Amino acid sequence: MESYTRYERARIIGARALQISMGAPLLVKTEKIDPLEIAIEEFDQKVIPITVKRKVGM
């Protein structure tokens, strides 16, 4: 399991919430309507197809 920093987590959830608010299909079944809450639920279920690239050895 890859662990993310709080900044990476915030960036991933924020980017996904923006996608959802612009009409992207949902990746989980949920009763929630707030894009941010839906994005958090998707992140917790590890279904968001966003990756983080890190520089090694700076």
CATH of the domain at 52: 3.90.940.10
DSSP 27: S
Q: Taking 60 as the threshold, does the pLDDT of residue 1 lie above it? A: no
pLDDT digit string, tens, across residues 13-57 = 999 999 999 999 999 999 999 999 999 999 999 999 999 998 887
What does pTM read for this prediction?
A: 0.88
- Reported confidence tier of residue 9, pLDDT bands at 50, 70, 90: very high
CA–CA separation, 49 and 58 (whole Å): 27
Phi and psi at residue 43, in whole multiples of 5°?
A: -60, -45
- Domain count for the chain, please give it: 1
Structure tokens belonging to residue 8: 């990476």
Give me the residue label for tokens 């197809």: 49
Structure tokens belonging to residue 43: 């992140």
Which domain range does residue 2 map to?
1-58
